[in-house]
């Protein structure tokens, strides 16, 4: 059983992946359909979101996963959905991703821990502060609410008063989700919208006939 995330978005005991109950509900199929407009290989966050996006555009989709949905890296990462500190060329994509996460978090069948809890980079030295401050023009260019915090503001944010940190960089609109809940929930959403999700199905080769796979 999954314990729902707490207010800060963290969870304790979580359901690791697409569960046996999901399979019993028909979210995962065992037989391959005869045809599909698109076959997605891999049931991590990328494959699952690709399947979902394709279904939203009306294409028939089969997703083949060699193990279990969210059985690899996509259920083990830190869960950041972050603009702060990124290469500015990534920022348009990250802003779109934040909007997508917000929308999808409303559509899935459980709390996936999506929270705009903010991202904070703590700085212990003046050099670290200067490095973070150098990124601020990018934040301004994209209208992000990123701020440099003083030592006192950082302590207040963290609920401490030892002035260990010289300051911090903080972007209140950055978010996180709980990976081990989010990917299975998005897979269930894709399945509910008609995607065929086939687990324990490794793709070993691509057969091409008359230019088609
Ligand atoms: C320590 C760490 C922290 C991270 N923190 C963050 C973070 O905070 N925020 C963030 O956005 N990203 C983070 N990432 C990156 C993120 O985890 C990955 O970018 C993401 O999980 C990649 O997703 P994926 O679907 O491409 O890959 P995977 O999750 O690896 O999924 C690929 C799937 O394809 C399947 N597969 C492979 N070959 C076949 C085949 N031939 N047939 C069928 N199935 C196949 C695999 O079994 C697997 O399930 C972090 C990564 C690391 C290592």
CATH code for the domain of 171: 3.30.9.10
Q: What is the mean pLDDT of residues 135-148?
A: 98
Check whether residue 69 and residue 119 sit in a common domain. no
For residue 75, is it within any domain? yes
Quick one: pLDDT at residue 23? 62
Dig out the tokens for 86 from the structure. Answer: 């990124």
Check whether residue 50 and residue 119 sit in a common domain. no
The boundaries of the domain holding residue 21 are: 13-79+179-204
CA distances 187 to 63, 128, 204, Å, are 10, 40, 22
| Structure-token match 């979902």, residue found | 52
Quick one: pLDDT at residue 92? 98
Quick one: pLDDT at residue 31? 77
Q: What is the mean pLDDT of residues 32-58?
A: 96
Q: Counting Cβ atoms within 10 Å, is residue 192 exposed (0-12), middle (13-18) or buried (19+)?
A: middle
Nearest CA to ligand 1 atom 46: 42
- From the CA of 201, give the closest atom in ligand 1: 43
| Average pLDDT of the chain, as a whole number | 89
Q: How many residues comprise the chain? A: 213
200 lines ligand 1 (CB under 6 A): no
For residue 139, is it within any domain? yes
CB contact at 8 A, 105 and 79 = no
pLDDT beyond 80 at 3? no
64 lines ligand 1 (CB under 6 A): yes
CA distances 140 to 80, 127, 136, 151, Å, are 21, 21, 6, 22
The contacts of residue 127 (CB under 8 Å, 6+ apart) are: none
Check whether residue 167 and residue 185 sit in a common domain. no
Cα 172 from Cα 109, distance rounded (Å): 26
Task: Tell me how many domains the chain contains.
Answer: 2
Cα 11 from Cα 32, distance rounded (Å): 35
Between 8 and 190, where is the model more confident? 190
Q: What is the mean pLDDT of residues 188-206?
A: 95
Check whether residue 113 and residue 29 sit in a common domain. no
Cα 7 from Cα 173, distance rounded (Å): 16
ipTM over 0.85: yes
pLDDT band, very low/low/confident/very high, at 82 (cuts 50, 70, 90): very high
Q: What is the mean pLDDT of residues 137-141?
A: 98
Please state, for a pLDDT cut of 90, what percent of the chain lies above it.
81
65 lines ligand 1 (CB under 6 A): yes
The string of pLDDT tens digits covering residues 84-102 is 999 999 999 999 999 999 9
Check whether residue 173 and residue 189 sit in a common domain. no
Quick one: pLDDT at residue 9? 36
Cα angle for residues 53, 143, 178 (degrees, 5° grid): 45
Quick one: pLDDT at residue 5? 43
């Amino acid at each position: 059983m999954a314990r729902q995330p707490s207010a800060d978005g963290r969870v304790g005991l979580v359901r690791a992946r697409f569960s046996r109950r999901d399979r019993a509900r028909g979210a995962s199929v065992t037989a391959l359909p005869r045809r599909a407009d698109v076959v997605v290989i891999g049931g991590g966050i990328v494959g699952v979101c690709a399947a979902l996006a394709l279904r939203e555009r009306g294409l028939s989709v089969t997703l083949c996963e060699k193990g279990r949905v969210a059985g690899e890296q996509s259920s083990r990462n830190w869960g950041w959905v972050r603009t702060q500190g990124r290469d500015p060329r990534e920022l348009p994509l990250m802003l779109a991703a934040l909007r997508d996460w917000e929308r999808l978090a409303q559509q899935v069948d459980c709390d996936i821990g999506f929270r705009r809890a903010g991202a904070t980079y703590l700085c212990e030295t003046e050099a670290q502060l200067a490095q973070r401050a150098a990124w601020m023009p990018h934040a301004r260019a994209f209208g992000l609410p990123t701020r440099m915090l003083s030592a006192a503001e950082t302590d207040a944010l963290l609920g401490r008063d030892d002035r260990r940190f010289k300051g911090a960089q903080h972007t209140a609109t950055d978010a996180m989700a709980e990976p081990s809940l989010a990917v299975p929930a998005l897979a269930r959403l894709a399945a509910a919208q008609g995607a065929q999700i086939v687990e324990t199905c490794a793709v070993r080769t691509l057969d091409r006939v008359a230019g088609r796979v």
